[in-house]
Chains A and B, each alone.
Chain A
Amino acid sequence: MTTPTWGEPAGPLTSAEFRAAAQAIMANIEQVIEGKSATVRLALAVLIAEGHLLIEDVPGVGKTKLAKALARSIDCSVRRIQFTPDLLPSDVTGVSVYNQETRDFEFKPGAVFANLVVGDEINRASPKTQSALLECMEERQVTVDGTTYELQAPFMVVATQNPIEMEGTYPLPEAQRDRFTARIAMGYPDPRAELAMLSGHGDHDPLNDLRAVADAALVRRLIETARAVHAADAVQQYAIALVTATREAPEIRLGASPRSTLQLIRTAKAVAALEGRDYVLPDDLQALAVPVLAHRIIPTADAQLNRRTTDAIVSEIVHRLPLPHARNPYDTRDGRASYESRGR
């Protein structure tokens, strides 16, 4: 967990304040990204859930624009890293250089020392560069030459990648993918939104007109508010059941990690707070299962041969898994119980 680096009083917001702040940010972003309110909301939820976002889609649908709009809407430090094959880990984390005047090594912070880090085309960098992000994303700190530097709060990495083009790219390793709270796809805009985009972007880039509507302190308070959202036992059980189901599903070689359970609940809390609720619903988990879990699991070779996407597998699990405490009037429980008793 991070601790705020500058210590102004931060308390939880009331429901109304929270909603006003969140609405302002979302409205701001939507000036740039038309017709994608669900995606925008999810991106904001990931920010409030203290997670990192992986935006994966074909070129030209506004991945980078979303990342930048989110960054612009919040008055905080923003750094952008263009991942290229020749990018080095020290470019990301920072490097110690020898200062002639002080006759000492001086740490030059890298690109991750910001509240919002936008990593563009992350899969174009070599794995060694990608792995420079591992520590900072999870532990929110950077260790260079044995010295550990804390990162600011909030800290969020928004990375984009192109899933179609494989040439010259390095797929993210499992450890890296597991650090992203959610993977979202932009999707093509519908014709109306595309028309609005044409008229809006005709003469100038609306991104330039974007003003910040929140600052880092407000985001920290948003985060604190979301943490206080109530997740009932039944909801937690359901989250565990969902994650466990991915580990037990026959089509999955590697299921979701315990970290993903935590992030699922956190994101659900943020979503619930964004909807003005102070409690998490299984509906939230159902809606978040695919973005939060799908990019972490590895399907079996058979499933891959059958062109089963991880999204499809996860959403099938969601549709198969009964809610905890839900009454099933059709289920006699006979077959299963007796089967289990015989199986021993």
Chain B
Amino acid sequence: MTGRRRLGLVAAGSTLLAAAPLTVIFESWTWIAQCVLAVALIEGAAVATRTFRFPTWAQAAGMTLALLLALTWMFSSGKEIIVPTPDTFAHFADLLRQAGEDTRAFGVPVPDRDGLLFVAVLGVGAVSIVVDLLTAVFRRPALAGLPMLAIYSIPVAVYTDSVPAIPFVIGAAGFMWLLVADNVDRVRRFGRRFTGDGRDVDVWEPSPLAAAGRRIGVAGMLVAVVLPLAVPNVEGGLLTQLTQSGAGTGPGSGNGTGGRINLFASLSGQLNHTTTIPLLKVTTDEPEPFYLRFAIADVLNDNGFGNESPRGSGLGLGLPDPRRQAATQLSSYTEHHARVEITKDLQQNMAPLYSYAIGINNLNGSWAYDQNQQVLYSSRTTTRDQAYDITYLRARYSPEELRQAPRLAANDALMAYTATPGDATVETEVARLTKGKTTDYDKVRSIYNWFSKENGFKYSLATQTTGKASEIADFLTNKTGYCQQYAAAMAWMVRAAGIPARVAFGFTRGTPAGGGVFTITNRNAHAWTEVYFQGFGWVPFDATPSAGVTGSARSGSNWAPDVDRPTPTASTSTGPGAAVPDSSGDPGAANGPNKSGVGEDPAGTTGPAPETTDWTGLWIAAGIALLLALLLVPALRRVLVRRRRHAATAPVAPVVLAAEGITDLTVTAETGRAREDAHAAWDELIDSMVDFQVPVDPTETPRVTAQRLVRDLSLTGEPAEAATLLGTAEERARYARQPLQGAELTSALRRIRSGMSGSASRRTRLRATLLPPSVLLNWRAGLSEWSTRTAERLSGLRESLTRFNPRRLLTRTR
């Protein structure tokens, strides 16, 4: 049956359209080519089996076979000749396994990996078979929406945030195409259509009802795209992006093609990876280096910790020296050098650094340094295969010194880092822990010490979380988690105690390979807390049990010693390099962990936090301004039109009334111009009438219109004369041999407009000025005319195409 074959083709097309959301997952377009090929083969099989009237099961089998063949050819193991062999299936299993690994290894958008491409083609092919069967065989195209939805759910699941609207629109359009095609076919089976006047309608002729259906479809799609923006609870929409300026997530791994990744999700992804992948190698002259860090999460709201996009200047200006900055000058520093070599597997646009880098060399691409976050980032380049040298300062702290740190003033800009979503459990716990503590450091230590084995905290990577605020609070009760929960929970509690805190992301020290070389793998991904002390900057506190973290340097710090291991010896898990003699007696002997300086001085730190709000305000203001500007467009258009017409109607010649009597119809430049002027003036009068809601009657002559204007608005004096003058001018321009020349039409227009505005209500006046109905009507007319013309052109095109359509039933009269 031709109808079925046609529907099958539509099903294949709409399946491909529905696969459009996958574009956001893949970096390149290879998958599309492969999917198109596979779907084409499947559909070819479907058409062939239907042509030979195979039973349904045979059609399904044929399509499956086509998919299998397509996969065999595209993902060949190299051994088979066209036909798949057992080896092929083993290869497929291998590809599937590889895909499983790749999904953990790569953030979106993913590069062209065989495994992932295989899964994509397999999935789209399977959906294509199901859609085809549902549509062409079972005639339930609405159900075909479900497998299509399955495709769409993949980017939704991968992107925690938001999925671009355009792929959704394409997919939805594909689904609607399917529905339309099915219904056209269905209606066709009822028999011939006919119009009310008894004329037969060809089946391929558009019907007004179909146009209505299409309009409803388009409207529905628009609502589906636009409505979520208006609902504040739906995250990731345009509004959220505008108002929060990227809070919650930041530029993550990937090559900057718009893929955004949650730092926490990326962290847990790294740690949960089934295999160990070497990511980078560090060579340093520091004996016991602290952690490498590359990102900061400093915004805490109901969604948990999120980061702001880093903001800073290029490396050309040099990096700030913490020794010369008021915010950090109380600590003592030692200078070190390190070389970082990154493998191809660490592909992100934030470069790992030791804290207080004062010189970075040999880094390719354009990179910028955010002084506040102490983050080196790039919008275009990634760290992949980079090797660079760092000169950095290691800060040393001692508990005694930190106790001296003065409290921050309540109005200090850094107090922005004490904001929390507010949670009774956390608040109570913090109040209990900090009771009786006087200095900030003691409070922090009290909280820090609480995250110990004795208090029931247990390290477990098995915890699956989304990082939401409620889950962080839950961690305080169930006490099972890994560095993510520890770091976030501690930062929150410190914030709740009124001390600025944030979460840092990076890598632990790694595995020493001798000669100052440390190998860092995905197992070394880590998160910890940074607390701000005035005069010392951001001091790191790692509350995670060192047993759970490879390369933990927790035991090495004397201001934040390992609470689970009172003796300051290296933990077994930290490897040989972690065995560091404790130098708690010496304030400067500790391995200085990174300590992010916040700008040059307290004054300098006031910048970043309010800047966020400024941007938000600016966005809103810009939005409102844009909206106002858009609203004013009709008014502006009206003013421009009026000005043009006034310019046309300004008298240029002295007042010479046309000679009375019968003369020949003369067309000179002057009379032509006078006619144009009168028409312009009349058009302006009509527009003014529309603006002031005076009815306009196209059956009225200019004379009668002018008389009605005078009568209805009870114009007297000048406006009445002006109306009569305009009426006469237009009348003569249209019908007389000689137009009225040299009349003061512009001033007449002004007078009559003021007359009209005088007799109009305030509301009408306001509307005439701000939203002139004449302009709106004109636009509406233009729009509908355009749409009519387009529809006519399209139907003409369709008409010319149906000439080649053998299925046309009626002969055309045209």
A and B: partners? yes
Q: Is B788 an interface residue (CB 8 A)?
A: yes
B781 — which chain A residues lie within 8 A by C-beta? Answer: 329, 331-334
Contact B700 A323 (CB under 8 A): yes
The number of chain B residues touching the other chain, given as a range, is 35 or more
Contact pick for B701, options A225, A282, A327, CB 8 Å: A282
Cα distance A264–B63 in the bound complex, in angstroms: 77
Contact A230 B737 (CB under 8 A): yes
Please choose the segment from B520-528, B614-622, B657-665 that sits at the chain A interface, where 4 or more of its residues have CB less than 8 A away. Answer: B657-665
What residue of chain B has the Cβ atom nearest to residue A14's Cβ?
A: B661
A319-B699, A327-B686, A341-B788 known; A280 vs B735 contact (CB < 8 Å): yes
What residue of chain A has the Cβ atom nearest to residue B208's Cβ?
A: A342
Interface of B is mostly: helix
Cα distance A246–B690 in the bound complex, in angstroms: 31
B734 — which chain A residues lie within 8 A by C-beta? Answer: 232, 234, 325
Contact pick for B785, options A228, A321, A329, A332, CB 8 Å: A332
Cα distance A88–B787 in the bound complex, in angstroms: 68
Contact A234 B700 (CB under 8 A): no
Contact flags B243-275 to A (C-beta < 8 A → 1, else 0): 000000000000000000000000000000000
Which parts of A218-235 form the interface with B (CB within 8 Å)? 225, 228-230, 232, 234-235
Contact pick for A326, options B698, B784, B785, B813, CB 8 Å: B698
What residue of chain A has the Cβ atom nearest to residue B773's Cβ?
A: A329
Nearest chain B CB to A331's CB is how many angstroms away? Answer: 7
Contact pick for A282, options B735, B774, B791, CB 8 Å: B735
B687 — which chain A residues lie within 8 A by C-beta? Answer: 329
Q: Is B407 an interface residue (CB 8 A)?
A: no
Q: Is B298 an interface residue (CB 8 A)?
A: no
Cα distance A209–B735 in the bound complex, in angstroms: 42
Contact B696 A328 (CB under 8 A): yes
Which parts of A222-280 form the interface with B (CB within 8 Å)? 225, 228-230, 232, 234-235, 277-280
Contact pick for B788, options A278, A279, A337, CB 8 Å: A337
Nearest chain A CB to B109's CB is how many angstroms away? Answer: 45
Residues of A within 8 Å of B, CB-based: how many?
40
Which parts of B649-684 form the interface with A (CB within 8 Å)? 660-663, 665, 683
What residue of chain B has the Cβ atom nearest to residue A322's Cβ?
A: B698
Q: Is B344 an interface residue (CB 8 A)?
A: no
Nearest chain A CB to B646's CB is how many angstroms away? Answer: 18
Which parts of B768-792 form the interface with A (CB within 8 Å)? 774, 777-778, 780-781, 784-785, 787-788, 791-792
Q: Is B364 an interface residue (CB 8 A)?
A: no
Q: Is B731 an interface residue (CB 8 A)?
A: yes
Contact A334 B784 (CB under 8 A): yes
Q: Is B704 an interface residue (CB 8 A)?
A: yes
Contact flags B696-729 to A (C-beta < 8 A → 1, else 0): 1011110110000000000000000000000000
B704 — which chain A residues lie within 8 A by C-beta? Answer: 283
Which parts of A273-329 form the interface with B (CB within 8 Å)? 277-283, 286, 318-323, 325-329
A279-B735, A281-B731, A320-B699 known; A334 vs B787 contact (CB < 8 Å): yes
B785 — which chain A residues lie within 8 A by C-beta? Answer: 332-334, 337
Q: Is B79 an interface residue (CB 8 A)?
A: no
Nearest chain A CB to B197's CB is how many angstroms away? Answer: 8
Cα distance A182–B224 in the bound complex, in angstroms: 66
A286-B701, A323-B701, A329-B696 known; A278 vs B736 contact (CB < 8 Å): yes
Contact B660 A15 (CB under 8 A): yes
Q: Is A338 an interface residue (CB 8 A)?
A: yes
Q: Is B795 an interface residue (CB 8 A)?
A: yes
Contact pick for A327, options B683, B703, B735, B780, CB 8 Å: B683
Q: Is A344 an interface residue (CB 8 A)?
A: yes
Q: Is B814 an interface residue (CB 8 A)?
A: yes
Q: Is A171 an interface residue (CB 8 A)?
A: no
Contact flags B737-778 to A (C-beta < 8 A → 1, else 0): 100000000000000000000000000000000000010011
Cα distance A282–B704 in the bound complex, in angstroms: 10
A280 — which chain B residues lie within 8 A by C-beta? Answer: 735
B662 — which chain A residues lie within 8 A by C-beta? Answer: 12, 15, 225, 228-230, 278
Q: Is A6 an interface residue (CB 8 A)?
A: no
Cα distance A283–B701 in the bound complex, in angstroms: 6
Could you write out 14 A-B pairs with CB less than 8 Å apart?
Answer: A15-B662, A228-B662, A278-B662, A278-B663, A279-B732, A282-B735, A322-B698, A331-B698, A332-B781, A334-B781, A334-B787, A334-B788, A338-B792, A341-B788
Chain A interfacial positions (CB closer than 8 Å to B): 12, 14-15, 225, 228-230, 232, 234-235, 277-283, 286, 318-323, 325-334, 337-338, 341-344
- Starting from the known contacts A235-B735, A332-B781, 14 additional A-B residue pairs (CB-CB under 8 Å) come to A15-B661, A230-B662, A278-B660, A278-B737, A279-B732, A279-B737, A282-B701, A322-B698, A323-B698, A329-B690, A330-B777, A332-B785, A341-B788, A344-B813
